[in-house]
């Protein structure tokens, strides 16, 4: 069964695009497809990264090339610390081994910028983390991996207003340090967008982009979450 039937997006370097729409529209499916989730098969169309066709690339190859996905529900990994995980991830992204000291220094710098407790680095990945901590950990990963394009799949899901502010300001901070990073933000609501100043908003309904425009489209997009908007 075809889930996506018309999702034609072009995101330039440094731009932030937002994808909105009701439940079941295919937003998270598109996020998974972009990073090569094995559940999905691309029957038509292509995925291009700086003009290079990556449609057939496995997920790890896309990640090494600079594609990043922040999950809606990040998994916990017992026995692997945040530092250990990020050392492996950074080494894979760079294509060379990375010392523990280098990763620790980068972690400390970014945790300071993101207002995170230093003890966070020694905790097991997402083990016992609150929803807000898991999302902040995704932003921390994004900061260290320096992706060319980041896909944020409902990063604001389940966050209270304080945690939302921390995550939103964290994304701002990462973008300020990596201004060429492109981002696709998947969300139901406008509340995260006050921190991001999107260049373009796309409305996805029944697997198709049915409307798009500037930030003013966000209010319209939020109504789609309640099935109040139709093309």
pLDDT at 230 over 60: no
- Tell me the CA distances in angstroms from 216 to 32, 44, 137, 148, 168, one per residue in order: 27, 31, 30, 26, 19
Residue among 8, 21, 32, 69 nearest 206 (CA): 21
Q: Which residue has the higher pLDDT, 111 or 218?
A: 111
pLDDT of 3 over the 50 cut: yes
Helix axes 100-114, 161-177, angle to 10 degrees: 120
Using alpha carbons only, what angle is made at residue 218 by residues 22 and 135, rounded to the nearest 5 degrees?
A: 70
3 domain residue, yes or no: no
pLDDT score of 227: 53
Domain presence at residue 153: yes
pLDDT at 99: 85
Q: Which residue has the higher pLDDT, 177 or 1?
A: 177
Q: Find the mean pLDDT for residues 97-106.
A: 88
Question: Residue 231: what pLDDT?
Answer: 47
Check residue 216 and give its pLDDT.
81
Q: Is residue 91 part of a domain?
A: yes
Listed in sequence order, the residues at least 6 apart from 101 whose beta carbon sits closer than 8 Å to its beta carbon are none
Query: 159-181, pLDDT tens digit by residue?
Result: 788 778 877 888 888 889 899 99
DSSP alpha helix (H) spans, 115-182: 131-145, 161-177
Q: Indicate if the pLDDT at residue 142 is higher than 60.
A: yes
**For the stretch 43-76, what's the b/e string if a residue is b when 16 or more beta carbons lie within 10 angstroms of its beta carbon?**
eeeebebeeeebeebeeeebbbbbbbbbbbebee
Work out the mean pLDDT of the chain and round it to a whole number.
88
For residue 229, being part of any structural domain is answered with no
Q: Which residue has the higher pLDDT, 88 or 192?
A: 88
pLDDT score recorded for residue 224 = 61
| Residue 222 to residue 229: CA distance in whole angstroms | 9
**pLDDT for 93:** 92
pLDDT of residue 135: 85
Q: Is residue 83 part of a domain?
A: yes
- Any domain includes 120: yes
Domain count, the chain: 1
Quick one: tokens of 45? Answer: 């169309």
pLDDT of 219 over the 90 cut: no
Asked whether residue 230 is assigned to any structural domain, the reply reads no
Q: In whole angstroms, what is the distance from residue 70 CA to residue 126 CA?
A: 13
Task: Give me the mean pLDDT over the 210-226 stretch.
Answer: 77
Q: What is the CATH number of the domain that holds 26?
A: 3.40.50.300
* 185, part of any domain: yes
CA 167 vs. chain centroid, Å, equals: 12
Cα 153 to chain centroid, rounded: 5
pLDDT digits (tens, 9 = 90+) for 188-198: 878 888 888 89
State which residues form the domain around 174. 16-224
14-25 pLDDT, tens digit each: 999 999 988 888
């Amino acid at each position: 069964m075809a889930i996506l039937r018309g999702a034609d997006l072009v995101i330039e370097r440094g731009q932030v695009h937002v994808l909105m729409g009701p439940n079941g529209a295919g937003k998270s499916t598109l996020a998974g497809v972009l990073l090569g989730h094995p559940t999905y098969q691309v029957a038509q169309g292509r995925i291009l990264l700086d003009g290079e066709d990556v449609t057939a690339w496995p997920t790890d190859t896309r990640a090494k090339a600079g594609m990043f996905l922040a999950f809606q529900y990040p998994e916990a990994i017992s026995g692997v610390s945040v530092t250990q995980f990020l050392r492996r991830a950074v080494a894979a992204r760079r294509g060379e081994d990375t010392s523990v000291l280098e990763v620790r220094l980068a972690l400390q710098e970014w945790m300071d910028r993101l207002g995170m407790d230093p003890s966070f680095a020694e905790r097991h990945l997402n083990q016992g983390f609150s929803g807000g901590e898991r999302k902040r950990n995704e932003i921390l990963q994004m900061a260290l991996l320096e992706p060319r394009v980041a896909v944020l799949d409902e990063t604001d899901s389940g966050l209270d207003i304080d945690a939302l502010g921390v995550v939103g300001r964290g994304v701002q901070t990462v973008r300020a340090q990596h201004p060429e990073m492109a981002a696709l933000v998947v969300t139901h609501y406008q509340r995260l967008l006050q921190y991001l100043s999107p260049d373009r908003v796309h409305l996805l309904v029944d697997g198709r982009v049915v409307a798009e425009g500037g930030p003013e489209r966000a209010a319209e997009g939020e109504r789609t979450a309640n099935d109040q908007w139709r093309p």
